[in-house]
Amino acid sequence: MILSLMAQQSEQLDGIFQALADPTRRAVLGRLGRGPASISDLAKPFDMALPSFMKHIHFLEGSGLIQTRKEGRVRTCAIDKQRFATIEAWLNDQRALWEGRTDRLEQFVLKTQDKETPK
């Protein structure tokens, strides 16, 4: 109930802020700060049913603070917040640069084409 309420709020509020506002999730992030871990390892310290714990994991994943990957039966979680943020911003810059070039190439081609084929 509380979790679903939080999930709704997160749609309106900053997901990262929300993710950090919960002690379980902060503990998970703290653990992942030391390196990737499986869901079962992460869940061990908490007296919590797995479905409830998974909601925290999904919340963290949804906020972009962690990423999960399944290999066989084991789902592994990892955090690399700073790197992730840096890479994303940097790559977005490169994307914008190449999008811009492509926009201008397209415009140039269409413009010169119009000139040479009178209507």
One residue of 70, 113, 115, 118 binding other proteins per CB under 8 A:
113
Question: 41 vs 93, which CB is nearer to other proteins?
Answer: 93
Question: 52 vs 107, which CB is nearer to other proteins?
Answer: 107
SS3 of 13, please? coil
Residues of this chain, 47-106, that bind other proteins according to CB under 8 A: 87, 90-91, 93-106
The distance of closest approach from Cβ of residue 83 to other proteins in the complex, given in angstroms and rounded to an integer, is: 9
Contact 29, 67 (CB under 8 A): no
The distance of closest approach from Cβ of residue 82 to other proteins in the complex, given in angstroms and rounded to an integer, is: 13
Element (H, E) at 76: strand 74-78
| Residues found near other proteins in the complex (CB under 8 A) | 87, 90-91, 93-110, 112-113
